[in-house]
């Protein structure tokens, strides 16, 4: 009995020891598991390479490459461009998540070398979310988004369209082929220049003097803006995505950006100083004549609230650049794409002319107020925006962690809304690859950032502040060019031969310019 009792006690002790070890092991494993980072559920995407990540997959036309990848990985996918996580949204649903549901999270922007160097970060396009972005947008919105102010400057848009029509009429009379891009760039550039500084108006002083500034050299300014859009493409600078490679400047981008920024400042400096001198000369009689004067007045206003960010020389330059870049290249590109598509579809041009003749007649030009009564013209514009958004990728930057459609997205992730992909998504658009303006007749889809299947001007906190003005320029210009002239491809080019290849940059344009032979279709006295 003694033996059995001792054996029993020894067995109990062993079991207790084993149980204690088991508890200790479980506790240890629990603690270790808690300390280890939990595997996050992230959106699907391709496996990245060392150092460069998925940069090799973007190709020369990134939005098209990303569209192809989305068909494999889904409407919300995660890539790594260098060492930077990049979230790509390719459907109206996921675009809404980024631009509306989590708009506050994704309100910032990743700042590349170009954005940091240009005017010392004064331009709003690349500005991170903060006091300067909010204040700068308020300034631009108060001048470019208020209907009363837009309407008060309609005479500028009309005068510049008349100049365009006159140039085209001369080309028609001489039977000269017309390269439309050059004429459109001059139109949009001239409108932007006069918004900034209307050289056709003067400031009258109390002693009878008339003061006016010289016209801005828009040819040179357009060249600078074109270079900006070329330098600002998604993959133009490897150092933007692999920061430790930036000092080596393997592509020479840093050097180009530095030189470009200096050239741009040297161009704008005398323009600003001329306006400052005119303000001083006019004294109490000074009346602002364009946005540059408005910016300078705000910069010198002693009554500005202390909480406002100082409107420095570089920030004034940044605002000037935002006005020009937002009002020239984008409008020109949209009009050019519209004509590319119309050239391929002669029946579209005939339907547009039939509507114009029926609503407007042939005894006057189209006015901006007429557009509401020209649904087919509006539909051509919408269909152009759908198939050929000039800004193909809307970049945002997450300022904090968030959950997106069940996926975890970390702070510091760049999001790209692929507007090009959304516009060609067959789940949302019937015969998505075809140019069919008729699809918008009777449709309530708008382009003002409320419908996430159409985002030509963006949406949310970073939507283009001058979208209404840009839309008026594009609509009225297209309507009057179709109303005033018959357009025929020159050089024996047939409609089916028109190329739709793209040139990629911050904005996307047709790779090949079309040449037209035109003839007037209205009475001579209207030209």
- A 10 A CB-CB count for 311 gives 23
Which candidate, 369, 117, 403, places its Cα nearest to that of 253?
117
How many residues are recorded in the chain?
Answer: 527
CA distance linking residue 27 with residue 320, whole number of Å: 64
d(CA 229, CA 506): 5
Per the CB < 8 A criterion, the answer to whether 98 and 396 are in contact is yes
Which helix (H) or strand (E) segment holds residue 520: the answer is strand 515-520
Whole-angstrom distance, CA of residue 388 vs CA of residue 384: 6
Helix axis angle, 180-196 to 291-300, nearest 10°: 30
SS3 for 114-170 is HHHHHHHHCCCCCCCCCHHHHHHHHHHHHHHCCHHHHHHCHHHHHHHHHHHHHHHHH
Which sign does the torsion angle of CA 305, 311, 315, 316 carry?
Answer: positive
What SS3 class is residue 104? coil
| 265 contact partners, CB below 8 Å, separation of at least 6 | 119, 317
Query: According to DSSP H, which parts of 285-328 are helical?
Result: 291-300, 313-327
Helices 313-327 and 329-344 pack at an angle, to 10 degrees, of 10
Residues sharing a CB contact under 8 Å with residue 412, sequence separation 6 or more, in sequence order: 84, 85, 397, 398
464 is in an annotated binding site: yes
Annotated binding-site members: 464
Annotated binding-site members for heme: 464
């Amino acid at each position: 009995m003694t033996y059995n009792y001792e054996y029993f006690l020894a067995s109990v002790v062993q079991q207790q020891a084993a149980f204690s070890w088991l508890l200790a092991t479980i506790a240890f494993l629990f603690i270790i598991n808690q300390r280890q980072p939990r595997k996050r559920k992230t959106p699907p995407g391709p496996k990245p390479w060392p150092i460069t990540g998925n940069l090799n997959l973007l190709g020369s036309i990134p939005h098209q490459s990303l569209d192809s990848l989305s068909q494999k990985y889904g409407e919300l996918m995660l890539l790594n461009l260098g060492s930077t996580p990049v979230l790509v949204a390719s459907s109206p649903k996921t675009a809404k998540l980024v631009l509306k549901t989590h708009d506050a999270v994704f309100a910032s922007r990743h700042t590349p070398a170009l954005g940091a160097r240009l005017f010392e970060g004064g331009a709003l396009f690349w500005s991170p979310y903060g006091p300067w972005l909010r204040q700068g947008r308020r300034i631009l919105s108060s001048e470019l988004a208020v209907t009363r102010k837009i309407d008060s400057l309609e005479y500028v848009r009309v005068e510049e369209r008349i100049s365009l029509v006159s140039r085209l009429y001369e080309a028609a009379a001489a039977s000269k082929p017309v390269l439309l891009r050059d004429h459109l760039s001059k139109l949009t550039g001239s409108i932007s220049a006069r918004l900034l500084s209307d050289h056709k108006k003067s400031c009258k002083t109390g002693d009878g003097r008339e003061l006016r500034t010289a016209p801005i050299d828009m040819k040179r300014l357009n060249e600078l803006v074109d270079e900006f859009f070329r330098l600002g493409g998604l993959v133009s600078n490897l150092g933007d995505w692999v920061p430790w490679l930036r000092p080596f400047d393997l592509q020479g981008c840093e050097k180009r950006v530095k030189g470009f920024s200096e050239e741009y400042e040297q161009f704008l400096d005398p323009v600003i100083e001329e306006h400052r001198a005119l303000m001083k000369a006019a004294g109490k009689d000074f009346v602002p004549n364009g946005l540059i004067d408005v910016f300078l007045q705000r910069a010198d206003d002693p009554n500005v609230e202390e909480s406002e960010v100082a409107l420095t020389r570089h920030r004034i330059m940044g605002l000037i650049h935002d006005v020009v870049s937002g009002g020239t290249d984008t409008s020109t590109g949209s009009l050019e794409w519209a004509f590319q598509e119309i050239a391929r579809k002669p029946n579209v041009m005939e339907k547009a002319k039939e509507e114009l003749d029926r609503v407007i007649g042939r005894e006057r030009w189209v006015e901006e107020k007429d557009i509401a009564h020209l649904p087919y013209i509006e539909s051509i514009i919408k269909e152009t925006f759908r198939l050929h958004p000039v800004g193909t990728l809307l970049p945002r930057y997450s300022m904090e962690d968030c959950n997106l459609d069940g996926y975890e997205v970390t702070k510091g992730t760049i999001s790209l809304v692929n507007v090009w992909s959304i516009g060609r998504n067959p789940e949302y658009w019937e015969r998505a690859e075809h140019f069919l303006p008729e699809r918008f007749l009777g449709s309530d889809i708008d382009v003002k950032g409320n419908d996430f299947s159409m985002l030509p001007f963006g949406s949310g906190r970073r939507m283009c502040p001058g979208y209404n003005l840009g839309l008026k320029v594009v609509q009225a210009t297209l309507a009057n060019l179709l109303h005033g002239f018959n357009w025929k491809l020159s050089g024996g080019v047939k409609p089916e031969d028109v190329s739709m290849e793209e040139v990629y940059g911050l904005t996307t344009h047709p790779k090949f310019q079309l040449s037209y032979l035109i003839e007037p279709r209205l009475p001579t006295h209207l030209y």
